[in-house]
Amino acid sequence: MSKRDYYEVLGVSREATGVEIKKAYRRVAMKFHPDRNPDNKEAEDKFKEANEAFEVLSSGDKRGRYDQYGHAGIDGQTAGGGADFGDIFGDIFGDIFGGGGGRRSHVRQGADLRYTLELGLEEAVRGTNAKIRIPTSVTCETCDGSGAKKGTSPENCTTCNGVGQVRMQQGFFSVQQTCPRCNGSGKQIKDPCHKCHGRGSIDERKTLSVKVPPGVDNGDRIRLSGEGQAGVHGGPPGDLYVEVAVRKHGIFEREGKHLHCEIPISFVDAALGGELEVPTLDGRVKLKIPAETQTGKLFRLRNKGVAPVRGGSTGDLLCRVVIETPVHLTKRQRELLGEFQDIQDKEGHRQSPRKKGWFDGVKSFLDIGD
């Protein structure tokens, strides 16, 4: 069976550059790779055909003979010839399996950390300076994070010669894999540091000062740059993210930039009106209760809420009135309330319009039901 033209196999023109040939081969090889096409003989044959075409066209000498004499010019020279599949197979396997080809640096940035900081509502609204104590790892000062004994340094891995990967032959092509001895770092520590035992970092607890800006709320995060885990083998440290959690308050509830509270008042104050002292985060203020106030009525105190941490107008304090029924009545109080009830009954429903409306609605509902 005659062989197909190598340029046709890769889908490139005869004037294609080396970069274009490599990109075309990578595309075809990924499409017909056996791991993506298990038990597919046709795909396997096309994969081998692409390997053979790339081996010839990626070599200047072989490509010249092929262009001049065709397949006759390179017959017998395409079985493991001069093409280097290492890098390109590293790219292909990275795309297929989610890994990355090439050497991995042994110097890596440390991990980020998270710390939950509990605050009272007043601290969150006004801002504060908080002290926190956290467990962490810091760069070993004895070895400067290298992990090697003082006066020595990490050496190239004897298995991969410092590359971080080893090449394994699998049939007619080779595959690059992470070096099992150095885990891809390319380095070995023959004489580890006596203080960190080759880790390059030591465990400590440290106290940090956190400046909390006014107006923070649940879930807000404060970033402390460079206060995370120490880097690996001298790499830069990670960051520490301090997450705010505001404790429940005994009086106020927060909703964004607004505060809410309930104010219990007597039914006498609700009926006759009066003046109350209301607590705010800035101190007490006087609130005038008009006569005939109903339970559930909201009073808005402007600018007595929270100034948002990201800017904008200050919120309000919303006070909800709740009428409290008196308990532990004296005999005289019961007598007076009884007299009050008798007078109110004579006045009819004029003094209780909501009650009258509710009973009218009930009556209408029952009549329909009948």
Task: Assess whether 261 and 236 both reside in one domain.
Answer: no
The string of pLDDT tens digits covering residues 62-80 is 888 888 778 777 765 554 4
Residue 27 domain-assigned? yes
Distances (CA, A) of 247 to 121, 165, 366: 7, 52, 49
pLDDT at 98: 42
**Could you tell me if 69 and 40 lie in one domain?**
yes
Q: In whole numbers, what is the pLDDT of the chain averaged over residues?
A: 82
Mean pLDDT (whole number) for 176-205: 82
pLDDT at position 233 is 61
Lowest-pLDDT range, 26-30, 81-85, 99-103, 140-144? 99-103
pLDDT of residue 29: 84
Residue 34 near residue 43 (C-beta atoms within 8 A): yes
Write down the pLDDT at residue 94.
47
Quote the pLDDT of residue 189.
85
Pair (242, 258) in one structural domain: no
Binned at pLDDT 50, 70 and 90, residue 289 comes out as very high
pLDDT value of position 287: 93
147, 27: one domain: no
Q: By residue range, what is the domain housing residue 131?
A: 106-151+194-247
Confidence of residue 359 (pLDDT cuts 50, 70, 90): low
Instruction: Write out the two tokens for 109.
Output: 């940035």
Calculate mean pLDDT across residues 45-52: 88
pLDDT at res. 104: 47
Return d(Cα 123, Cα 139) in angstroms, integer: 34
More confident residue, 280 or 26: 280
Residue that has been written with the tokens 């290492």 in this structure: 86
Residue 338 has pLDDT above 50, yes or no: yes
Q: Which pair of structure tokens corresponds to residue 147?
A: 């992990």
Is position 25 within any domain? yes
DSSP 1: -
pLDDT of residue 254 exceeding 90:
yes
- State the pLDDT at residue 169: 62
> Is residue 159 domain-resident?
yes
Report the Cα 216 to chain-centroid distance in Å: 19
Determine, yes or no, domain membership for 1. no
Regarding whether 159 and 213 lie in a shared domain, the answer is no
Lowest mean pLDDT among 40-54, 99-113, 153-167, 190-204: 99-113
Q: Is residue 284 part of a domain?
A: yes
User: Which CATH number covers residue 283?
Assistant: 2.60.260.20
Place 171 in a pLDDT band, splitting at 50, 70 and 90: low
Domain membership of residue 314 (yes or no) is: yes
State whether 122 and 199 are in the same domain: yes
Q: Please tell me the least confidently modeled range out of 23-32, 35-44, 127-136, 300-309.
A: 35-44
Pair 142, 214 in one domain: yes
Residue 350's pLDDT band, with cuts at 50, 70 and 90, is low
d(CA 357, CA 166): 87
Q: Are residues 174 and 284 in the same domain?
A: no
Of 78, 97, 116, the one marking the end of a domain is 97
User: Which residue, of 77, 97, 117, is where some domain finishes?
Assistant: 97
Same domain, 16 and 83: yes
Q: How confident is the model at residue 170 (pLDDT cuts 50, 70, 90)?
A: low
232 & 262 share domain: no
- In this prediction, residue 302 carries a pLDDT of 95
Q: Has residue 144 been placed in a domain?
A: yes
Number of domains within the chain? 5
Q: Can you spell out the DSSP letters for 108-140?
A: BPPPPEEEEEEE-HHHHHH-EEEEEEEEEEEE-
Last residue of a domain, one of 247, 263, 283: 247
Question: Has residue 95 got a pLDDT over 50?
Answer: no
pTM exceeds 0.75, yes or no: no
Average pLDDT over residues 77-99: 49
Residues 124 and 246: beta-carbon distance below 8 Å: yes
